[in-house]
């Protein structure tokens, strides 16, 4: 494949040449009126070099199939006549992918989607290196998202996951996409996951699993803190002079404190006042 990249095309300000063209056409019409038809044809062909370029826009100029350069300066310009001038926007484009159904690294079916913000930086590459650069971006975005999802689990407490490391995953997606889109003269400004969920067929089961994990972690937290408090209580009684607690009483006290501090219901202590 022939490598093509941007370089500036020849151009001059369009208004001086427009006034000159009008003057020459007027003079020719008055002085050479029998040749008005060929003069008009030549004038129209000469006028084909005029073009208008908006801000954040480029025109790729080709002359009978040969690339002669890219116009980036906005305004009313005159360039190579008889040339084709293809418009290429240089603005930021916000592309939202569909919700793709893929498998994560653990084989769980998930739904994932992303937002890709990109722009054309090399109009010649975008025009000549690929067939349709917008379709190319869409297809490569889908491929990159599917590949990325297959390298990470949906959720994990011990390693990088799609759900727990959104910024890191987005940065990895941007790096992957930039490598694929560089050939088309496209720069990826930002990527961000816009949708992430378990597929409908396993969503219910995974929700129960997440709830079970959350309950287990909450109970573990409660038990660990309850044991720390009990240690402080035991140390307190050991330091008190004249207070001796047998091992059986310590076991009963520990059991009672654990029940009170880890129970989900309010405790109803029983106080033995004796007689």
CATH 3.30.479.30 fits 93-198, yes or no: yes
Does the pLDDT at position 39 exceed 80? no
Indicate if the pLDDT at residue 95 is higher than 70. yes
Query: Pick the residue with more confidence: 146 or 245?
Result: 146
Q: Give the pLDDT score at 208.
A: 64
User: Of residues 38 and 147, which shows the higher confidence score?
Assistant: 147
Query: For the range 102-107, what are the long-range contacts, defined as Cβ-Cβ under 8 Å and sequence gap of 24 or more?
Result: 102/145, 102/146, 102/149, 102/150, 103/149, 103/150, 104/149, 104/150, 104/152, 104/153, 104/154, 104/162, 105/150, 105/151, 105/152, 105/153, 106/153, 106/154
Mean pLDDT of all residues belonging to the chain = 83
Segment 72-86 shows an average pLDDT of 92
Mean pLDDT for the stretch of residues 49-58: 93
What pTM does this model have? 0.70
Domain-by-domain residue ranges, the chain?
A: 11-87, 93-198, 203-262
Q: Is the pLDDT reported for residue 271 higher than 60? A: no
pLDDT bracket for residue 171 (50, 70, 90): very high
Tell me the percentage of the chain whose pLDDT exceeds 70.
Answer: 79
Q: What is the pLDDT of residue 268?
A: 58
Task: Provide the 8-state DSSP code for 158.
Answer: S
Query: Given 3-state DSSP classes, what are the helix, strand and coil percentages for the chain, each rounded to the nearest 5?
Result: 50, 25, 30
In this prediction, residues 79-86 reach a mean pLDDT of 92
User: Cβ(54)–Cβ(90) under 8 Å?
Assistant: no
* 182: confidence class by pLDDT, cuts 50, 70, 90: very high
Q: Has residue 34 got a pLDDT over 90?
A: no
State the pLDDT confidence band at 233, using cuts at 50, 70 and 90. Answer: confident
């Amino acid at each position: 494949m022939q490598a093509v990249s941007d370089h500036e095309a020849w151009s001059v300000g369009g208004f001086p040449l427009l006034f000159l063209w009008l003057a020459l056409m007027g003079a020719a019409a008055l002085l050479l009126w029998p040749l008005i038809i060929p003069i008009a044809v030549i004038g129209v062909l000469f006028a084909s070099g005029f073009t208008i370029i908006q801000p954040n826009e480029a025109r790729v100029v080709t002359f009978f199939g040969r690339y002669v350069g890219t116009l980036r300066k906005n305004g009313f310009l005159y360039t190579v006549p008889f040339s084709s001038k293809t418009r290429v926007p240089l603005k930021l484009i916000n592309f939202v992918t569909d919700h793709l159904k893929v498998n994560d690294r653990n084989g769980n079916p998930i739904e994932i989607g992303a937002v890709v913000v990109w722009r054309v930086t090399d109009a010649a590459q975008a025009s000549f290196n690929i067939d349709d650069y917008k379709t190319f971006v869409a297809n490569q975005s889908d491929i990159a998202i599917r590949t990325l999802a297959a390298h990470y689990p949906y959720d994990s407490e011990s390693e990088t996951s799609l759900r727990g490391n959104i910024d890191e995953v987005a940065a990895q997606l941007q790096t992957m996409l930039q490598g694929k889109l560089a050939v088309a003269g496209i720069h990826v400004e930002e990527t961000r996951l816009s949708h992430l969920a378990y597929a409908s067929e396993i969503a219910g089961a995974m929700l129960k699993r997440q709830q079970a994990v959350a309950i287990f972690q909450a109970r573990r937290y409660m038990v660990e803190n309850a044991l720390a408090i009990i240690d402080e209580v035991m140390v307190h009684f050991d330091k008190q002079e004249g207070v001796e607690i047998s091992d059986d009483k310590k076991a009963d006290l520990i059991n009672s404190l654990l029940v009170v501090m880890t129970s989900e219901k309010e405790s109803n202590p029983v106080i033995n006042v004796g007689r």
